[in-house]
Structure 1
Amino acid sequence: MIDLRAGGTKLKTITTRQVALLAVLYLFSVNYLDIAAKLSEFAHQHGYISHLLSVLVTLLMLWIVSRIIRRFSGRNVVAAMIDRYPLMGRSIAILYMFFLLLLSAGEMRICVDFTNSSLLNRTPIVVIGLIVAATVVFIAQGGIRTLVGIAEIYVPIWFMLLLMIVVTTWRDVEIRNLQPFFHFHWTGIFHGFWIIFSSVGEIIVFPLIMSGKHYKSKGGYSGLLISGLYLVVFLLMVQLVVGIPLSTKLMYPTYELVRQVQVTDFMDRFDLLLVALWLPTVFGKLGFNIYLMANLLHIIVPKVSGRLMVAPMGALSYVCGMWFFKNPVQQVNFNEQLMLFAIVFEIGIPLLLFFALWPRRKRRLHSG
């Protein structure tokens, strides 16, 4: 793993707890905003089953990647692939760079559109995008320690906020919104899985690009399970309070749930404080994607400085976000096609690496 702050290749080891917090940050930040809209439309009241299925499949893929990491103790999986199969390894690394660019562009556009529609209506969207891109670049240039710091601060805060949101909105809960409980529409449930898996499976790029001695498998498993439970609670609260029919019509139903939080008569816009605590997690997720892209570029071309590539990657993500998606509706429609990319990058290539990097048998030396 490259330390972008120092420009070298040495990085202090991060703990299992920090890996878990990074995984929660990576999965929670953007998914929190639109998970209810994605799942309520197809899986309805059983959207939590779709999400749990995606978590289980991702857990299996994480286990497979962890088995690959064990074969190359202390080495990067992509770098090991390049050493054994130079052409195929570099091709896979380039493909993952484009995949991360696609994710970064889409999520940066989501952040910009949400800020423009909910907070800064009169500010030009181009100005908001430039501010977001500049912030993300500065975070990525800080290196993995900056990203870990963001995770250690804001992830625990959001766990406490989740409890507060559940307590303060419980009076508006309508249990009948989840009825009928046991009438499972499996076609819709699997359709919901098809939509949400690409967002959950993004964590696969985390262990593939981080070197084996810095990535802790237990931290990855814990982060995936904790974030999965966390998002399921948010999904159920949105469906119980806002309602499933309205959730399918709103672009950001979770934000509508947050707007229901009223602490006192004088704090009727408490949602602004919650958004202020949520945006740094999105910046951390975007910064992490750019950080991973810079690392991949350094692995492909070792002479290129990863730190110097952060700013161009951030600018490219911003430009592609504005170019690929003209409005939020296009992003919603793109969720169906995004799953095709997920099958390749989150299932297909990890399985290919699992077999391509199979340990070679040592030749036996015969005496005489």
Structure 2
Amino acid sequence: MIHKQVINHRQTAWLVGSVLMTAMMISSLHKIVAVSKMDAWFSQIMPVGFAIVVAFVLAELSRAYPGKNLFEILFIVCGKWIGGLINVILLIYIWIILTLDIKGASEFFRETLLPRTPVEIILIVFVLLMMYYGRTSLEVAARVNEIYFPAYFILSMMLYFLLGNEYSVERIEPILSTGLGQIFASNIFPIGIYGDILLFGAFLHASTHPRLFFAAMKHGVLIVGFTVTILLLILLGVMGFTIASRLHFPIFILVQQIHVTDFLDRIEIILFSLWFPAFTIKVIVAYLAFLVGVGSFGGQQHYNALNLPSGWFLVVTSLLAFPSVQDFDTFLSYTLPVIVLIIQVPLLLFLYIHARFNRKMDTQVSIPKGTRLYRFYNSMVWIGGLALIGCFLTVVIGDLFLDKSVFAGLLTAIVYIALFFIALLASYGEMQALNHGKQKLAQSKQAGSFRQ
């Protein structure tokens, strides 16, 4: 029964990280590198800001319509016919995400690991695995994700040390030499992937504390933004923008460059064994969201009956979509960001206005003013926000006012990375403060006071 699932803040943050970050392995990072060259690692700040805004609107909807998911909220706000039409548009959007993921993963397997296996067989096996998890709920996916995503994240962050003997700072210099126009264009491409955070709108009923739900999603988004920034920095420092811009799967090729010893030179197998389960969780989340959306038209509480026909529908449509990797890359880089902006921006603006009128007091996760915990939480919110704004201003000021010397470029890079890392730490502190406040509030109901 999908309406009885509940996930905690840590599971939410890691699910967001898995949904957004694992797709980068098969995404068109080379398109970003081709546009902004050695400054491609500045391409994450605007998509991160966009995803945080989407998460904020979803949290407001959860607060205004508790116990309802995005599809049910649209029926409530827009009525049967208009709401149904918008839900159909959202289902088409989720179908596009699923088709991209399934076909992209199948092409990735065929070109890198299973060159002699027909793509149809790979695709069918992958969908069967997805249909198996479709019989469960988001709770199961969240628990499995707790095993694989942290290991995948740690290994991704270790790539710099594993590739230290291949890394050269000269390959990313001169920093900020491509211009703000190209850096801005490279920030548009990832919006298509970061827009997948809207999938969590199908599971708003799994959130019992809207403010904590938003803090967890924001922390997950910042994990993705910081990690992808580091991965792009490593990719450019090892391969240079010329080679990286011509590779379909640059991260996989990057990992192949690791040679720790003469007998340990297949690290990509280890990374793949961690990436594949995490990526599967990403596809399962999208598939469950699709089932929730289809089931919302009939008011069904059980969605197992929709699992089999939906799975085979995805098999057929995925086989027909994107005949080549080039078609997949072009759609992912140029078309998907436009679809995300056209669908999500007006829809979320409309829903946010309605949510503000129906907003209820969030008494479940309240931290009384004047306590040390509230001061800590408030400081984390401000530090995180100012750090993100500082990242944006660092790029603008570095391009407009600093000279193009090596020292100025390195100073800009260090400040940018430091501010991004501070924002990540602040989001973690904000999430933990709200979680601690929730626990203290539950204890105060018995003790009659809140003291910290």
TM-score by length of 1: 0.90
Partner of 1:329 in structure 2?
Answer: 326
Moved more, 215-224 or 108-117: 215-224
1:88 to 1:262, Cα distance in 2 relative to 1, 3 A: same
2:106 to 112, 131, 147: 112
Give how far 1:311 is off.
Answer: 2.7
Aligned equivalents of 2:17, 2:141: Cα separation in 1: 12
In structure 2, the residue corresponding to 1:182 is in which secondary structure? coil
Please say if residues 38 and 240 of structure 2, whose CA atoms lie closer than 8 Å, have aligned partners that are also in contact: no
Alignment of 1:119-268 (within 5 A): 119-207=113-201, 209-211=203-205, 213-214=207-208, 216-268=213-265
Give how far 1:170 is off.
Answer: 1.2
Residue 343 (structure 2) pairs with residue 345 (structure 1): yes
Give how far 1:69 is off.
Answer: 2.1
In structure 2, the residue corresponding to 1:149 is in which secondary structure? helix
Please say if residues 22 and 282 of structure 2, whose CA atoms lie closer than 8 Å, have aligned partners that are also in contact: yes
Please say if residues 79 and 299 of structure 1, whose CA atoms lie closer than 8 Å, have aligned partners that are also in contact: yes
Alpha-carbon RMSD across the aligned residues, in angstroms, is: 1.9
Give how far 1:314 is off.
Answer: 2.4
Please say if residues 294 and 309 of structure 1, whose CA atoms lie closer than 8 Å, have aligned partners that are also in contact: yes
Give how far 1:111 is off.
Answer: 0.4
In structure 1, the residue corresponding to 2:261 is in which secondary structure? coil
Partner of 2:315 in structure 1?
Answer: 318
Partner of 2:14 in structure 1?
Answer: 21
Residue 285 (structure 2) pairs with residue 297 (structure 1): no
In structure 2, the residue corresponding to 1:73 is in which secondary structure? coil
Give how far 1:124 is off.
Answer: 1.1
Match of 2:167, as an amino acid? V
Partner of 1:366 in structure 2?
Answer: none
Tell me, which stretches of 5 or more residues in structure 1 are unaligned?
4-8, 362-368
Partner of 1:365 in structure 2?
Answer: none
Please say if residues 20 and 224 of structure 2, whose CA atoms lie closer than 8 Å, have aligned partners that are also in contact: yes
Please say if residues 124 and 315 of structure 2, whose CA atoms lie closer than 8 Å, have aligned partners that are also in contact: yes
Match of 1:354, as an amino acid? Y
Please say if residues 202 and 346 of structure 1, whose CA atoms lie closer than 8 Å, have aligned partners that are also in contact: no
Please say if residues 60 and 355 of structure 2, whose CA atoms lie closer than 8 Å, have aligned partners that are also in contact: no
Give how far 1:252 is off.
Answer: 0.5
Aligned equivalents of 2:327, 2:73: Cα separation in 1: 38
Match of 1:342, as an amino acid? V
Please say if residues 62 and 221 of structure 1, whose CA atoms lie closer than 8 Å, have aligned partners that are also in contact: yes
Kindly indicate whether structure 1 or structure 2 has the higher relative contact order, using CA contacts under 8 Å at least 6 residues apart.
1
Q: Which digits, 9 at most, give the CA deviation of each residue in 1:82-121, with x for residues without a partner?
A: 1232222221211111101011001111100010111111
1:285 to 1:272, Cα distance in 2 relative to 1, 3 A: same
Partner of 2:273 in structure 1?
Answer: 276
Moved more, 105-114 or 32-41: 32-41
Give how far 1:322 is off.
Answer: 1.9
Moved more, 331-340 or 211-220: 211-220
Q: Which has the larger radius of gyration?
A: 2
1:224 to 1:240, Cα distance in 2 relative to 1, 3 A: same
- Equivalent pairs counted in the alignment come to 354
Moved more, 243-252 or 24-33: 24-33
1:101 to 1:31, Cα distance in 2 relative to 1, 3 A: same
1:160 to 1:209, Cα distance in 2 relative to 1, 3 A: closer
TM-score by length of 2: 0.74
2:305 to 303, 308, 323: 308
Tell me, which stretches of 5 or more residues in structure 2 are unaligned?
360-452
Partner of 1:6 in structure 2?
Answer: none
